[in-house]
Structure 1
Amino acid sequence: MAGFREKYQYILVMVLFVLVALFFPNSMIGLAVSLIVAALAFIRPKDGLLFLLIYFPTRAFLIEINPSLKIAGDLIAIAAFLRAVWDQRNDWKKMFQFSLFEWGFFLFILIGCVSALITGVSVGAIIFQVRAFVITYLIFYTVKRLSIEKEDIHRFLWITFTMSMILSVQGIVEKVSLRTLLMPETWVERYISPTNRQRIYGLINNPNVLAVYLTLAFICTLYLSTLVSKRTKLFLLIGSVVMMGVWILTYSRGTAIGLAVGLITYLALSRNWKTVVKALLIIVLSVIVISIPVTKATEFVQNMNVLKEKPIAAPDQQGDESHAEKRLKETFEGSTIEQSKNTGRLFIVRKGLQIFKDHPVIGSGFSTFGDSASKSYSSPIYKHYGINLNIYSDNQYIQVIAETGVLGVVGFAVFLLGMLAFLWKNRHTASPYADALISILIAVYVCGLLYNIWEDKTFTAYFYMILGGVASMAAETFGRPLRFK
């Protein structure tokens, strides 16, 4: 127990401060807590960054209870970054050493800002969008310059597993209770379409983001199981079945495609049949042990509500057709494709290409088409292009094409492909992490067709943290590589 306290005491202190802000949801208390955890992150940057593995997956829930906690994650990332800068104050050369993909990222950000100013976007909206892309990049910058030890990897993995279990249990309760238990009252009362109401949103408050998070947690748990005793392996196996059962109940088609691509890529790179087969068996078992029983329990509760004449949600199944089967079938139905042309993804792609045609070199700028800032601030060009809603593009590439033009696409391509080249170069030095991250990255290339994946703080926090760890272990610029058995 003493060893546990020593490993996690700073993280537990941060958790306790956040709990205070939840029990006393005052804006000043929330702000004070945000500043305190940021200060702790400056003192202990590793602990601060690991705390983000708790904060980002629950951020939507935290800020629903105390909105002032919204800035906590940003402040922690900035504080850890500033500590990295401070520690390098006597070596300016190291401070400004960047990989090729980082320069591509900087070019992309610069073009998005310049084109936004030309279009007439407000400075506040530009800063908002830059923050959406950059804040978690600071995690990579910081971790790359830290000395990663075996104990840090173990803490990373155990925190991930613990949080995935918390979110999974909450998700099961959410579904069976028909979105009435273990969630804020505002979420209970919020209208959700009958189709989406059957999906688990979780404390992340988004089924697709939850699915991405559980995918990452599943991968981390598979690796953790190789580092523990046989008794603990069984415990992790049970946990994996639970989390993948919830993953299935998010009904996230895009994430399922991404996971399939990732597993195929990993198999091709590592030839590790054992791990891939184990993953597939866990998914199959999770359907039998978790997904089907939870769905049946939900139907029972729904039927009880119907008998009491207090229906809360539409039935999860109609006849013998499950919700998962319906979503798969709807993907290819003519009515779905027609709707997509008018208001959905195909409509967004068509509008994005129209904007690109009018602004081919540097695009229309950040906060003009389908990004985080355009939802919060609206867009100065939507009226001109007949876009009536503040929407996400749900396609990272069409957003980049429309907002940053050819030059921005070049910068973004250097960023994406440069990371792949960096990981490939360090496959053996940073094994087994590089192979897994290559597989994740290629899966994300696919997910980018369906989500604004690089604006998802939960995903990017994880990805950049692992990528920074690989960079640190490979010691591309900072000395002899570290090796772990």
Structure 2
Amino acid sequence: MSKPSIFKRIFDLTTDKALFIGLLILLFGVPIIFSPYTQCTVFLIKTVFFQTVVFALFILLVAGKLLRKESFVSIPLKVPLFLFLLLGFLSFFRTPYHHAVLEELLKFLSYFCLYVLVLETVRDSKRRKVVINALIFVTLAVCVYGILQRVGFYLFNWVPASGFRISSFYGNPNLLATHLVAVIPLLFVLILKKLNWTGIMAGATLGLALVCLIFTGTRSSWIGFVGSLVFLFFLLRWVKTFKLNWKALLTLGIIFLIVLSIIIINWDIIAGRISQMISFSGSVSIRIHLWEVTFDLIKSAPILGTGLGTFPVEFSRFKYPDFNLEVPIENILNAHNEYLEILAEMGILGLVIFLWFLSGFFGYAFRYIKNKKEQRLIVSGLISGVTAVLVGSLFNLGLRWTGSAFIFWFLISFTLSMISNEQKSKKTPTKQKKITLLHPVIYAMAILAIFLIAFWHIRMYQANVHLSKGESLLRKGKKAEAISELEKSWDKNPFCEVAVYLLGCLNLEQERFEEAKSWFERLEKLSPHFTNVHEWKGQLYFRLNELTMAEREYRLATKYRGTIFNHDMLGKIYFLEKRWDLAIEQFEFVCQKGSELLKTSPEPPRNKTLELKPEYKEKYEVTCAFIYCASCYYQLGEYLKTIQKLEQIEKEPLTSPQINSVVQLYVKIAWKYAQREVNLDLAVKLCHKAFEFEFSHPEMIHNTFAWVYFKKGMFKKAKEQMQKALELSPENQRYRKHLSIMEDALRGKFKKVKMGDFEE
């Protein structure tokens, strides 16, 4: 018997069995995989693992089909799927942010590949049982780790949202909750169907899953869970293919009592989460503000949207000035509403196609439930889980992240594979042929494609590892080493906005202005409004004395992030340009917002959501803003408003330069009043105020005070003040001249003197 050729052995890798094993690896791997070495611990590694494996499996499937001359199984709902992918592909030509489109398009392509793989490989009852058991076990593993987190045990360094909320292997409570609500209805119907070994495992997993769902604190998924229960109740009344037995009732009763006791024990926390939802406070308020801006984004391109994957890039353009004061998140990635996000990125057309697909999916399921007896109960559980996710997606981002989105698309694919399992692939009978040149060529192309995809994903992973190291070094204050790691991250992934952003900021801090400008120019092409980049670019141009460019950046900064810092810097630019009215407008904003800040101690922390902030001592700069504002009013001749601004910070702890500025303004106003011979009593008070501060040049106050008294006709006091000025500055010939004028006035030789401008 001849030994099989190498190509024949490779060919065997593309059999249904091998592909099915690959699918199970995905089902177990995606929910539980994590990496302690990357910046985000769980998010990136799930994407890298899933897309690498699913594309590899799909390429092998296609290669095998070509070689065996087989057609694919009938793909349900292929028209809306292809149209959605086509619309996403066209986004590539409609937006300059090609990398953002490509990244999101790859996600949807990977879900489509998963869809086809499940339809191709899960086509008999034996494999369906294996898949259902795999779903039970992976959910059990996720729940067990979630419970361990609740009691304080962590496998990796992930900071949960609070001590109450758990995230398991998902790194985010909302994503974990999406997984749980998707699977809970299936676990429920498995108990109802038959309490065999699978039913017992489903019962144990259901109990843990419900407890974990409570501990996620994810209200959107709680709503989705309730919605799925109502939906499932009506389906079960319709199906009527099972009989409740005492074992099932006892199991469900025990689960109910356990869950109820957990709710009672943690009721204060749960009630707090619910009260926020009712009162529209906390994160509920944040979502409302997000949707406000998202609606404006939708209006900008209502038919086709701004482009697949461009939401985080385009969102900042539509922020209102105080948005970041109400939403303390630096870089908005998602709308927290899947339907609004599809509307924003893909327009009305994209949302219609998506809803077309969903309605087709439920149409297939309802027809199956109505016309067939076999597996109706399982399909009812599956579509109830899909319903739970769709309801929760009104308020969360579960479908935008690989881990939770994988479960959603897997359930859809699995449901349709059950419904259409009678449709076999159409094989063309072929004789056993010798291996031709075509076979190795096809396999070589398949292996090359798999290698390229794997290589690309590995580079993304490596880039994120370097980014993680860079951020860790940055937190330790080792900026030079951090720059080295961040440059390695950018070298592996030139589209990593965070690395480019940090490199720009760090180079600016080290006064390497040309390098900083170069990094910010790169970021402009990737994400022009990334986090607080306009603040940093404004700082760059301000320090280069390019005031026109600095003004442009800070105007954008005040538009997208209306913070005290941004308005203060814009005010300083207008001040240097002597545009007093515009400067006053900005400084008044800072004074108004900063008044409460001056009453607090210690200084409140600035928003910590992302990486770096330009150096800004808030209390100090707020008091400076009052002084700047007063100076602008002085330049416009509005002296009473100048005095009013200065009086507001008299009791604040001022630095020596600030004291000098305050005193000079008081003295200059007093000089102006004396010069014009008006408000002389107020001028006297201003001079007295000036003496209350430790001014570095008190002789200037005495000189001004002398002239105020002189204009009031109080020549003796005028002489006394001028003598004190001369004592402090004996070399000042100008003061000597002033003293002689006042002595002449005392001797009756008074003559009207025209005062010159104030000399600082």
Pairwise same-fold verdict (TM > 0.5): yes
Match of 1:172 in 2: 147
Match of 2:27 in 1: 53
5 Å-filtered alignment, 1:415-426, equals: 415-426=357-368
CA distance 1:198–1:79, shift in 2 (3 Å): same
Match of 1:287 in 2: 259
Letter paired with 1:112 = G
TM-score, with length taken from structure 1: 0.70
* 1:82 corresponds to 2:76: no
Which shows bigger deviation, 266-275 or 151-160? Answer: 266-275
Cα distance between partner residues in 2 of 1:144 and 1:62:
34
Match of 1:472 in 2: 417
* SS at 1:135 equivalent: helix
**Cα deviation, residue 325, structure 1:** 0.8
Unaligned 5+ residue runs, structure 1? 1-38, 296-320, 481-485
Letter paired with 1:287 = V
* 1:382 corresponds to 2:358: no
CA distance 1:234–1:139, shift in 2 (3 Å): closer
CA distance 1:161–1:287, shift in 2 (3 Å): same
Match of 1:27 in 2: none
Asked if structure 2 preserves the Cα contact closer than 8 Å seen for 1:161 and 1:220, the reply is no
CA distance 1:59–1:40, shift in 2 (3 Å): farther
* 1:145 corresponds to 2:120: yes
**Cα deviation, residue 127, structure 1:** 1.4
Which shows bigger deviation, 384-393 or 102-111? Answer: 384-393
Unaligned 5+ residue runs, structure 2? 1-12, 324-329, 426-760
Match of 1:106 in 2: 82
**1:445 equivalent among 390, 398, 412:** 390
Query: Which deviations, in whole Å up to 9, do the C-alpha atoms of 1:258-283 show, x marking residues without a partner?
Result: 11111211221221694997897455
CA distance 1:361–1:240, shift in 2 (3 Å): closer
* 1:135 corresponds to 2:101: no
Asked if structure 1 preserves the Cα contact closer than 8 Å seen for 2:34 and 2:45, the reply is no
Letter paired with 1:333 = S
Asked if structure 2 preserves the Cα contact closer than 8 Å seen for 1:112 and 1:404, the reply is yes
CA distance 1:432–1:262, shift in 2 (3 Å): same
Query: Which deviations, in whole Å up to 9, do the C-alpha atoms of 1:359-417 show, x marking residues without a partner?
Result: 12211112221xxxx3xxxx156235457623321100110111111221221121221
Cα distance between partner residues in 2 of 1:400 and 1:458:
19
Asked if structure 1 preserves the Cα contact closer than 8 Å seen for 2:362 and 2:383, the reply is yes
Cα distance between partner residues in 2 of 1:99 and 1:236:
29
**1:262 equivalent among 228, 235, 238:** 228
Match of 1:249 in 2: 215
**2:272 equivalent among 315, 326, 340:** 326
Q: What is the aligned residue count?
A: 393
Cα distance between partner residues in 2 of 1:413 and 1:231:
38
Cα distance between partner residues in 2 of 1:479 and 1:54:
27
**1:125 equivalent among 87, 100, 103:** 100
* SS at 2:309 equivalent: coil
RMSD in angstroms over aligned alpha carbons? 3.5
Query: Which deviations, in whole Å up to 9, do the C-alpha atoms of 1:106-154 show, x marking residues without a partner?
Result: 3223323424532321x22211111222312311111212352333222
Asked if structure 1 preserves the Cα contact closer than 8 Å seen for 2:185 and 2:232, the reply is no
* SS at 1:197 equivalent: coil
Cα distance between partner residues in 2 of 1:362 and 1:92:
39
5 Å-filtered alignment, 1:189-338, equals: 190=159, 196-225=162-191, 233-234=199-200, 236-271=202-237, 274=244, 281=253, 284-288=256-260, 322-333=268-279, 335-336=281-282
Match of 1:304 in 2: none
* SS at 1:361 equivalent: coil
* 1:154 corresponds to 2:88: no
**Cα deviation, residue 448, structure 1:** 1.9
Larger Rg: 2
* SS at 1:95 equivalent: coil
Query: Which deviations, in whole Å up to 9, do the C-alpha atoms of 1:230-256 show, x marking residues without a partner?
Result: 577556534432332222111221112
Cα distance between partner residues in 2 of 1:323 and 1:91:
59
Cα distance between partner residues in 2 of 1:152 and 1:113:
34
Which shows bigger deviation, 227-236 or 208-217? Answer: 227-236
Cα distance between partner residues in 2 of 1:474 and 1:407:
28
Letter paired with 1:89 = L
CA distance 1:202–1:163, shift in 2 (3 Å): same
Match of 2:154 in 1: 182
5 Å-filtered alignment, 1:65-80, equals: 71-80=48-57
Asked if structure 2 preserves the Cα contact closer than 8 Å seen for 1:132 and 1:455, the reply is no
* SS at 1:44 equivalent: helix
**Cα deviation, residue 328, structure 1:** 0.5
Match of 1:436 in 2: 381
Which shows bigger deviation, 154-163 or 352-361? Answer: 154-163
Greater relative contact order (Cα < 8 A, sep 6+): 1
Asked if structure 2 preserves the Cα contact closer than 8 Å seen for 1:61 and 1:203, the reply is no
CA distance 1:269–1:117, shift in 2 (3 Å): same
Letter paired with 2:86 = L
Query: Which deviations, in whole Å up to 9, do the C-alpha atoms of 1:262-318 show, x marking residues without a partner?
Result: 12112212216949978974553232565667x6xxxxxxxxxxxxxxxxxxxxxxx
Cα distance between partner residues in 2 of 1:401 and 1:232:
41
